[in-house]
Structures are given as C-alpha cells and as structure tokens.
C-alpha cells in the first residue's frame, strides 16, 4: 500500500528529497484542500539560483504548489492553517492588461502559486504575498 493517498515519488518527482514527515503533512493538506497539489518546487540545493538563500526549501521542508485561482488559494490557505502550518506565501504573477492597450506599463496580477513550509528557523505565524518571476 502506498504511503501517501495523493502524493507519490513517481507522480510528483518534485517531492524527491523532502523530509518524509513533511510529505505526510503535505498529503494531508492536499486531502483537506480538495484541489490538486501540483508541486512546482520542493528541495533546492543551497547553490540554486532560484529563491532566497537559507530558505526552508534547502532543508527539505517546503513546497511551492501551483495555485492559479483565488479559489485554490483559499482552499490551500484553509487546509494549511488547519494542519498547523504557520508559514504561508501567496504568489501572484503580473500579466499585461487585455483592455488597457494604451497603458503598456499597466499590469494585472493573477494567482500563480502558494509556498508553505515547516521551517523552525524562520518567523512563525506569517502569511506573505509575493510576485512570481
């Protein structure tokens, strides 16, 4: 019997290298969220050029999951808080306005992904908003 109900090393290669207890927790989050947990980034080497230095990703206790609507953002935040996760980042991505063609510099923001982690070395009970690159 597989260890996780939703996540697997085969189906979700980006979970490789994460702490198993953190995958256990993420699988529970997925169940409560009721929306697909598509892991876009998990473990990162300290030499990675992606993200910030000394992030929870380097310790194998962080996931970036695709979340491209305000509905999935809500479902993830609900499930993360219910599972005791106290570090959540909501990410949006700029895209050109379809209607304001005159204003080339104007951008709108759309949901992109959600970050969550269980780092003990970073501030707790934080929810931040960031811009995806």
Question: Which of 43, 64, 67, 118 is in the footprint of Zn ion by CB under 5 A?
Answer: 64
DSSP H or E stretch at residue 123: none
* Least distance from Zn ion to the Cβ atom of residue 114, Å: 9
Instruction: Give the residue nearest to Zn ion (CB).
Output: 115
Sequence-distant (≥ 6) Cβ neighbours of residue 112 within 8 angstroms: 66, 67, 68, 91, 92, 93, 132
Stretch that binds Zn ion, among 10-18, 27-35, 62-70, 77-85 (CB under 5 A): 62-70
Examine residue 115 and tell whether it contacts Zn ion (CB under 5 A): yes
* Least distance from Zn ion to the Cβ atom of residue 76, Å: 13
- Tell me the torsion sign for CA atoms 26, 16, 14, 129: positive
* Least distance from Zn ion to the Cβ atom of residue 62, Å: 5
Rounded to whole angstroms, how far apart are CA atoms 112 and 77? 14
Count of residues engaged in binding Zn ion, rule: CB under 5 A: 2
Rounded to whole angstroms, how far apart are CA atoms 109 and 82? 27
Stretch that binds Zn ion, among 8-16, 26-34, 101-109, 110-118 (CB under 5 A): 110-118
Rounded to whole angstroms, how far apart are CA atoms 19 and 127? 22
* Least distance from Zn ion to the Cβ atom of residue 98, Å: 29
Instruction: Give the binding site for Zn ion (CB under 5 A).
Output: 64, 115
């Amino acid at each position: 019997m597989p260890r996780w109900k939703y996540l697997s090393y085969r189906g979700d290669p980006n979970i490789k290298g994460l702490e198993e207890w953190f995958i256990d927790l993420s699988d529970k989050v997925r169940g409560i969220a009721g929306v697909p947990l598509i892991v876009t980034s998990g473990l990162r080497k300290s030499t990675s050029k992606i993200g910030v230095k000394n992030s929870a990703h380097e310790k194998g206790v962080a996931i970036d999951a695709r979340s491209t609507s305000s509905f999935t953002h809500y479902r993830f935040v609900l499930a993360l808080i219910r599972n005791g996760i106290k570090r959540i980042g909501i990410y949006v991505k700029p895209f050109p306005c379809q209607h304001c063609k005159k204003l080339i510099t104007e951008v709108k923001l759309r949901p992109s992904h959600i970050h969550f982690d269980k780092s003990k070395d970073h501030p707790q009970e934080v929810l931040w908003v960031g811009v995806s690159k």
